[in-house]
Amino acid sequence: MCSIFGMFGLQPGDDVPALRRQALELSQKQRHRGPDWSGVYHDERAILVHERLAIVDPAGGSQPLRSADGGLVLAVNGEIYNHRELKAELVRDYAFQTGSDCEVINALYRECDTDAGGPAAFLERLNGIFAFALWDAANGRGLIARDPIGVVPLYWGHDRAGRLCVASEMKALAPICADVAQFPPGRYYEFPADAADAAKPVPRRYYERPWRDYDAVEGVQVPKAELRAAFEAAVHRQLMTDVPYGVLLSGGLDSSLVAAVAARYARHRVEDDDRSEAWWPRLHSFAIGLEGSPDLAAAEVAAAALGTVHHGFTYTFQEGLDALPEVIRHIETFDVTTIRASTPMYLLARRIKAMGVKMVLSGEGSDEIFGGYLYFHKAPNAREFHQELVRKLDALNNYDCLRANKSMMAWGVEPRVPFLDREFLDVAMRMDAKYKMIDRSDSGPRRMEKGVLRDAFEGELPGSILWRQKEQFSDGVGYGWIDGLKAHAESQVSDRELAAADRRFPVNPPQTKEAYYYRMLFEQFYPGTACAQTVPGGKSIACSSPAAIAWDASFAAMADPSGRAVAGVHAQAVSAG
């Protein structure tokens, strides 16, 4: 994974050398994402800059990627897991210039010229995590696109002269774009050079699935064996790498399942169909927490059962507190839950980087697919349960995906998320939600959240891990972390300041002192209305969704996003487990 910066719509009379220097300076603000190499392309109408983190084809594959004739220029942040299959399916010959998995985008774009479906036809075929800017210099047009779920970040806006600018992180655009905004997931924007400065560009959706509608999945039961096989295939695909890698292992269900499957495949190279031994055959796992945290203890149990080379790190509350300003600068949000969880993840990424590991697999997405959050215990029926899953998936780019990507990439460590693999999603989300719901009946054993996933992997993990109760990551690293943050914010923000929060912060005003404190730090780095508007609602309180409030009115009054605060569900579930 890397970072990109693009500027389109340069006009005759523009000082191109000066704009090129400006583009390089802005791109440098993202260099933590790609410390291995930098590349730049420019002509009289467009500039593309790329900061590279070399994961596949580290000796080659430098970007921007250009076609043999020089007509196509591509800057990509991401991975295309099915690139070999896509290359084999090409109808037109394409002279590949590198071994990069991402170069297949250029080849597919060339084919889409003759395809009535246009860019949507080939974008829908990509299985990967990506955000890219492609410049068709020969025909004077550009294409911007982002992966279906928004695992990889992408922002866009216009500079003072109306030129269209795109970047992997907001920090590269905030200095020049008063209208900076997130580029939405699962969409693309195609434009001719002379229209790049359109005042209100409208991206088009290319990713749509029948399973978004409950009527399309009602009554569908996915066999446990099929669900398990689909997840195993997703993990296997995402082991595509030419550099040392590992897994994040909190000891919870999701990260433990990722680690278990990865350990099975770690000894062989995915890129040659598992025929040769992997260059780094021992799987390393990583965890972090305060001294005595639940996650560290559970991770030790899981690692011992799986045989990983495990690294459990501790941090102190003060170390986490000291990191907060840099965490917020990197993750570009003032959302309470995201900041609480991002800080230990940021500290862990630094440890991982120091050990020479450049890629990790992580467990994000499972809770959104299977209803793992504790408030799902309150869902009244399968239809509403499913609709809430879709809503949560649509919001992932603002929360868990943002957290995992930006906090790890702050140190040049790429996170991959097998639960959000496109093919696995199609299997898991076409299941009727009634099979995912928590059984609250008095008869028989209690069915925990994500029971269908636990059942599918029965015997794969120790029982204490397979049936471990859900913990928010920011809880699992140690309850003292959240309690300490709230106490610190109490000392930093007065009652009077909080009462006037809506006047100081008219966009998404903070509701608690902790939220106010984070907002002050955010404003230091990202002042202005547009930057604040990139954080939807200003909070990701699991129970603040309209659906959750409808399920239990008490959720409306909750101001703490910790899993422990979910109307007693956490305590009830723990005692029942």
Relative to beta strand 359-361, strand 65-66 is unpaired
Rounded to whole angstroms, the Cα distance separating 313 from 155 reads 33
Q: Give the list of residues 6+ apart from residue 113 with CB closer than 8 angstroms, or none.
A: none
> Does the annotation list 39 as a binding residue?
no
Exposure class string for 107-137: b at 16+ Cβ within 10 A, else e: bbbbebeeeeebbbebbeebbbbbbbbbbbb
> Does the annotation list 288 as a binding residue?
yes
Amino acid at 499: A
Q: What residues pair up with 39 in beta bridges, in sequence order?
A: 50
Rounded to whole angstroms, the Cα distance separating 175 from 432 reads 47
64 upstream amide cis, omega within 30 of 0: yes
Active-site hit among 2, 177, 401, 531: 2
2 is catalytic: yes
> Does the annotation list 93 as a binding residue?
no
Q: Is the dihedral of CA 213, 215, 216, 218 positive or negative?
A: positive
> Does the annotation list 363 as a binding residue?
yes
What DSSP assignment string belongs to 178-239? TT-EEPPTTEEEEEEGGGTT-SS---EE----GGGSHHHHTT----HHHHHHHHHHHHHHTT
For 297, 311, 431, the CA distances from 304, given in Å and listed in that order, are 11, 11, 33
Per-residue 3-state assignment (H helix, E strand, C coil) for 15-71 = CHHHHHHHHHHHHHCCHHHCCCEEEEEECCCEEEEEEECCCCCCCCCCCCEECCCCC
Q: Give the list of residues 6+ apart from residue 515 with CB closer than 8 angstroms, or none.
A: 334, 336, 538, 539
Nearest to 278 by CA among 240, 234, 304, 307: 240
Residue 430 sits at φ, ψ, to 5 deg, of -90, 5
> Does the annotation list 248 as a binding residue?
yes
CB 300 within 8 A of CB 314: no
3-state helix, strand, coil in the chain (%, to 5): 45, 15, 40
Rounded to whole angstroms, the Cα distance separating 480 from 485 reads 8
Known binding-site residues equal 101, 248, 288, 362-363
Known binding-site residues for L-glutamine equal 101
Known binding-site residues for ATP equal 248, 288, 362-363
Any idea which residues carry the catalytic annotation?
Answer: 2
